[in-house]
Structure 1
Amino acid sequence: MQTEKFPHVLDGVTVPLVTPMAEGGRPSADNEALLRHMHRAGIDTIMLLGSNGEGAIIPSRDAAAFAEHTASLWRSIRGKSARVFVTVFGAGTSIALDNAESLMVARPDAVVVAPPLYFVHTEDELADHFQSFSGFGVPVIAYNIPRYSGNPITPSLLERLAAMDHIAGIKDSGGSDEFLLKALDVQNRLPRFGVSQGNEKRLGWALQQGARGITPGVGNLAPKLCVDLVEAVRRNDSARVEALQEMLTKLTAIHSVRPGVAAMKAALSLLGLVPATPGRPFRSYTAEEMEKLRAVLHDTDVNLDAGIPAAGGRT
């Protein structure tokens, strides 16, 4: 990590925050418990409406109201160190730009932009899409999420994005070590461009390779472990890095029951942090699935701040 020499908006831990939902699948204002969980762990940066935040399926009017409320509350809780990113999805550039414009009410510190969804596009078209976000006056983070977008950011496209003055870096959730190393090569050549690792099983490795930060979904469950991981890398404590990574990897087992955003919501509900309700058409976990998830969390033997009630009467 190079945070001491070149401070960057992607330094450290960015938590891709879940969006608490009311019954019916609309964003709820009931997220103070989750934000205070982040604050106690020492988190500064939250990323709203990403994949864990179900941003691609929330109407823009609801997303904007939620982002404005959450950003204001987070800044009141965290103080001057608070940072807020907003995430923008859209099947086309015009839709994505409209969504970004509506989210400016949150006064974001950066906008995280995903490639267009649904249609497959040429590299030139994808470059045009990202170039279109140059007028918002805040740093833009490119979001590589090929599993959902169908439009991966390739090494050649990455070079083009890094040459755009408004693109400050990339959140890479592609899962390829080879691509991440190429992104780090760009970062090394262009220090204003940062890389944040989204692959939860390779967080420590990426930081040791020089990534500026991490953006792990499990940061919702265990933000303190993520902060400790970054600090261990900064201290060059390899044994501690390995131990923390092992714990964070164990937590990804929540997706062994029914994977996806419903799993994270259900796990957080067991901590008493958010309702288990996901956005439609996702369905909440059944009572049987919740018991299986409770057992999974118990068996990980990872110490979570809020604690998980034991399954089947175990303690």
Structure 2
Amino acid sequence: MATVIDRSDHPVTGLVIPLVTALDRRGRPDPPAVRPLLAHLAAGGVTTLMLAGTNGEGPLLTPDEVRGYAAEVSAMWRELAGASARIMVGATGAGTRETLRRIECLAGLDLAAVVVLAPTYFRHTERELRAHFRDAAHHGRPVVIYNSPGYTGNPIPVSVVRRLLDEPAVIGLKDSSGDAALFGQFCALARERPGFQVAQGAERQLAEGLRLGAAGLVPGVGMLAPALCAGLFRAARDGDHAAAGALQHDVDRLAALFGIRPGASGVVVMKTALHLLGLCPPHAAAPFLPLDDTELAALRTALAPLHDLVRPAALPAARQSP
């Protein structure tokens, strides 16, 4: 049985929260509005945030919007989480040129790494995928590869990652494929190169990912229940995989919320749930639409039995309407 890697200085080790981007009613980033959520995360023991990923609606924001949001959130996060605070930012472009432009726009920010997806829309060969990530790695930042084939349409095979292990700037991989066998192979690669670590991004496979040797977890539901997800990580780190499995059951209950509106619209469900808890505005970038009355009622009903998971005593009173 693989053991959980505990390298606290590595950006993908432990619990990483893929933070939402707080927006105002006109769809513009509103960094101060995310402060209640940041306080909730800090109280739950979180130290590392990932901005402008899937939950952060990164591809729907301009590079300047991502930079501005990252700069303000970083300052707030370091105030709340202290010296252990770490920030990663996603750089997601349809192609390599846009990806590099997004990395360039982050110049001057104190970041632990940039998180780079495969290109989107067109299907690419393994040689093209390797070239894409090598170009990102040569751009002066530590790079975490993000395998999310459901969104990019370009799965990243083990063979591509293996060839990228000779790039010192490629320090890790977040896998959201949901393919446990593939994830196990990524973890095996991590054992081949010191300094390269793997994080599990598939929420229903957190405990299994840790059992296979993941260094960290990147669960969106960690925004709702950071202490739960942190506890799951600690249990697996300590070798108590039975306890981690029991906590996974509670994570699965939270992940079921996304079924209220499946697909990428899970962003809207998450933001609305956070809003009902008083933690973040519900607004999402166009063309996302708010939950309709039926969906909102379903979300309230689904949240009610999860009160103990998502509402620690320190949280403000829940709001009644988005």
After TM superposition, is the score higher than 0.5?
yes
Residue number in structure 1 paired with 2:148: 145
Pair 1:5–1:301, CA change in 2 (3 A): closer
Of 297, 300, 306, the residue aligned with 1:294 is 300
DSSP 3-state at the match of 1:250: helix
Matched, 1:17 2:19: yes
Aligned length: 311
Query: Which stretches in structure 1 are left out of the alignment for 5+ residues?
Result: none
SS at match of 1:104: coil
Task: Tell me, yes or no, if structure 1 residue 84 matches structure 2 residue 101.
Answer: no
Alignment map for 1:34-53 (pairs within 5 Å): 34-53=37-56
Relative to structure 1, the CA distance from residue 105 to residue 265 in structure 2 (aligned partners, 3 Å threshold; closer, same or farther) is farther
TM-score, normalised with respect to structure 2:
0.92
3-state SS of the aligned residue for 1:273? Answer: coil
| Letter in structure 1 aligned against 2:268 | A
Q: Deviations over 1:128-173 (max 9, x none)?
A: 1101122443310000010111111011112112222210010000
Q: CA deviation at 1:4?
A: 4.2
The alignment partner of 2:118 has SS state of coil
Secondary structure at the counterpart of residue 85 of structure 1: strand
Partners of 2:275 and 2:319 within 8 A in 1: no
Which residue of 1 is the match for residue 219 of structure 2?
216
The 3-state SS of whatever aligns with 1:244 is: helix
More moved, 164-173 vs 98-107: 98-107
Deviation at 1:258, TM superposition (A): 1.1
Taking the aligned partners of 2:210 and 2:85, their CA distance within structure 1 comes to 22
Give me the whole-angstrom Cα distance separating, in 2, the residues matched to 1:6 and 1:271. Answer: 30
Deviation digits for residues 224-276 of structure 1, max 9, x if unmatched?
Answer: 11111111112222332122110001101111211321111111111110011
1:225 lines up with 2:228 in the alignment: yes
1:26 paired with 2:28, answer yes
Deviation at 1:190, TM superposition (A): 1.5
- CA deviation digits over 1:6-34, x for unaligned, max 9? 85321101100011110121211211101
Q: Which runs of 5+ in 2 are unaligned?
A: none
Query: For residues 91 and 278 of structure 1, what CA distance do their matches in structure 2 show?
Result: 21
- Equivalence for 1:263: 269
1:163-174 pair list within 5 angstroms: 163-174=166-177
Q: Which residue of 1 aligns with 2:118?
A: 115
Judge conservation of contact 2:63–2:105 (CA < 8 Å) in 1: yes
- Among all aligned residue pairs of Structure 1 and Structure 2, give the percentage whose two residues are the same amino acid: 38
Distance 2:166 2:6 in 1: 24
Cα offsets for 1:94-120 (capped at 9, x unmatched): 111111111234321101000111111
Please provide the CA RMSD for this pair: 1.8
Aligned to 2:172, what secondary structure does the other structure show?
strand
After superposition, what is the alpha-carbon deviation per residue over 1:261-309, rounded to whole angstroms, capped at 9, x for unaligned? Answer: 1111111111110011111110111233222101011244652123886
- Could you say which residue in structure 1 is the equivalent of 2:127? 124
Distance 1:301 1:237 in 2: 26
TM-score, length-scaled by structure 1: 0.94
